[in-house]
Structure 1
């Protein structure tokens, strides 16, 4: 993980510029497939921001978000921009930070009507807590916040679909209000970014400035007035959140030398007095009350790595059978594992890098299974990656 870098993504150039204005000395960074990032600092802090434009839609945002995660291994991914308010709770210019995201277009059409089948992604607890703290402190606001009073930050659901919503009486509007009446705002990218974060084990936060009401009153004249202000407010809150995320990450990171000394102290001996023998246990990691043994495989060749990955597949399947991994996660994990085995057999410097990246993505998928994570860590190291 890059301990000092946060990725910020936007869908519109106006939103992009609102963030970029808060970055110092941005430098271009190009992804091998052509995606253009600008990486810059935040003045007076150690926080760096990698900024990119996704364009509209959940599909595009998901692809760019995954590229950003793989390219930078950031502390977090923030999606920042404007949205329409669904209720009167949020005023124009206010900021909404998602507690969870609905992909509201999921459903099944039956004889008695359309039944909702949404997907939902909750915001990471630590990011939600930090966002709430910043809102209470209320020192993130620019001095020039415009007329109508200082913007407020609201926390609640955001609905993400594939259409621009601008009606109070359309079938789409009625559907949203019937099935997602706790959503504060509506937009078109959050579900894609949330899914990318989920599959790659990266924390995601969705931050939106309210630029319209999504109720039929939206107009070009109002967009020209409110979109820049809403985008600026969302950018101000997001950049402050990024700075605090990096600050917290720095505070909790143990220096490498300290980690090594701590690792040495984890070597403990358990004396079996009943049998008059001594059992030596070297703890690779300790989590809560569980000790995971340091059983690094001896990987000396691509053939050895292939064999270890094949063995790891058996562990994956066993955890799936025991219910520790759901069907979707297991299917995605097996696909990543097969991809890693294919690239590992190529035995080149570039293929080793791709293998390490794939195994890191796999690690994100199985993050809920610490035993599997512990078994995967030495395999990532064997490819030249960092565990």
Structure 2
């Protein structure tokens, strides 16, 4: 058994059948070239993988010699209508930072045209009912515009702990695109909601759960009330998008008191277990990186799987909207190298 970044137990990913045969029949857009992908999308658990795969256009399976991973090649819209992003999606063989770093390194080795890597999936949210504007609820999305905090990578000193070094910064390119989406939202335009609503892919169990299942507890297990929506900025039946920092470490968190202590110390809005591996590996491979997380639980002992699928889809929908704000990326290497690694 392995444990997901938000504290859920999962069987090994290879033990779960991913029925690619049920995907739409692939086609190749005539207006896109066939050089390698420029954006790598990484998921940690099957629910995340299925959600992201369902939003890809023209998905096709791809295997690389001496790489055990299954890859899905596909397209996502860019800011240039005539030219889509070519992306490659994969599912890690396990959760936590080491598996994430290994998966990222393998992806980059197998697809040397990749310029940026994005981790997309679920996380535990940090609720804050006493500061409504900072309150994170189930089904929300947290975008790591302020980066990741590897909160267990520390010096243990006599007077406490201190971070060992500053974590590499996330992609300025994607952070600017997130700012544009934030500006659009102020004008009432939320493109990710289309894919969560009327445009939602036909995936069983990915609809938004009943609101009464979003139950908040304090560290003693007592139920707490969520703040009124008009104070927290939540719209009924829709996710709130949060921008800030995400905590990441090899720690499966299932305690509200520890969650709140860490969040107060470091200032993050969600906690997961793969982002630090993705950020470190991307930095060492001279790649841009970014993390988007849907909130599936609160990192406490009451956690369950009710919101897992919907939170996975919420993160994937936001990612699609984000890339639609981004101009097409050029391959990591020049034309000669890109042609040599062509996937035609």
Structure of higher RCO (CA pairs closer than 8 Å, 6+ residues apart): 2
Aligned partner of 1:63 in structure 2 is 102
Give yes or no for the alignment of 1:9 onto 2:55. no
Partner SS for 1:193: helix
Which residue does 2:262 correspond to in 1? 176
Aligned position for 2:192: 140
Aligned twin of 2:71: 37
Stretches of structure 2 lacking an aligned partner (at least 5 in a row): 1-34, 129-134, 185-189, 199-206, 211-235
* Kept after mapping to 2: 8 A contact 1:7/1:49: yes
Q: Which residue of 2 aligns with 1:151?
A: 239
State the secondary structure of the residue aligned to 2:114.
coil
Q: Does 1:120 align with 2:176?
A: no
Corresponding position: 1:189 with 2:274 = yes
**C-alpha displacement at 1:136, in angstroms?**
3.2
Counterparts of 1:322-341 in structure 2, within 5 Å, are none
> Distance between the aligned counterparts of 2:163 and 2:41, measured in 1?
31
**Which position in structure 1 is the counterpart of 2:140?**
94
Asked if structure 2 preserves the Cα contact closer than 8 Å seen for 1:102 and 1:118, the reply is: no
Judge conservation of contact 1:106–1:119 (CA < 8 Å) in 2.
no
**Does residue 1:234 correspond to 2:315, yes or no?**
yes
Query: Is contact 1:85-1:210 (8 Å) kept?
Result: yes
- Report the alpha carbon displacement of residue 105 of structure 1 after superposing the two structures with TM: 0.7
User: Matched residues in 1 for 2:297 and 2:238: separation?
Assistant: 17
User: Aligned residue for 2:59?
Assistant: 26
RMSD: 3.0
TM-score normalised to structure 2 length: 0.65
| CA gap 1:42/1:130 in 2 versus in 1, 3 angstroms | closer
**Residue aligned with 1:120, SS:** coil
Q: What is the rounded CA distance, in whole Å, between the counterparts of 1:101 and 1:70 in structure 2?
A: 24
Which range moves more in the overlay, 125-134 or 109-118?
A: 109-118
4+ aligned runs moved over 6 Å, structure 1: none
SS in 2 for 1:149: coil
Instruction: Provide, for residues 11-30 of structure 1, a one-character-per-residue CA deviation record: whole Å limited to 9, x for no partner.
Output: 00000000011123422222
Runs of at least 5 residues in structure 1 that lack an aligned partner in the other structure: 254-356, 361-376
2:177 and 2:248 map into 1 onto residues whose CA distance is 23
Distance 1:188 1:238 in 2: 19
Q: Matched residue of 1:93: which SS?
A: coil
Farther off after superposition, 112-121 or 146-155: 112-121
- Please state whether the residue corresponding to 1:231 is helix, strand or coil: helix
Residue in 1 aligned with 2:216?
none
Q: Indicate the residue corresponding to 1:46 in structure 2.
A: 84
What's the offset of the Cα at 1:84?
A: 0.7
Bigger Cα Rg:
1
SS in 1 for 2:262: helix
Q: Note if contact 2:67-2:106 (Cα within 8 Å) is conserved in structure 1.
A: no
Contact 1:90–1:184 (8 Å) recurs in 2: yes
Q: 1:174: Cα distance to partner?
A: 6.0
CA deviation vs aligned residue, 1:80-116 (integer Å, no higher than 9, x gap): 0000112332221111110211111112333444444
TM-score, normalized by length of structure 1?
A: 0.58
Match of 1:314 in 2: none
* Residues 5 and 115 of structure 1, relative CA distance in 2, 3 Å threshold: closer
For 1:169, what is the secondary structure of its paired residue? helix
Counterpart position of 2:125: 85
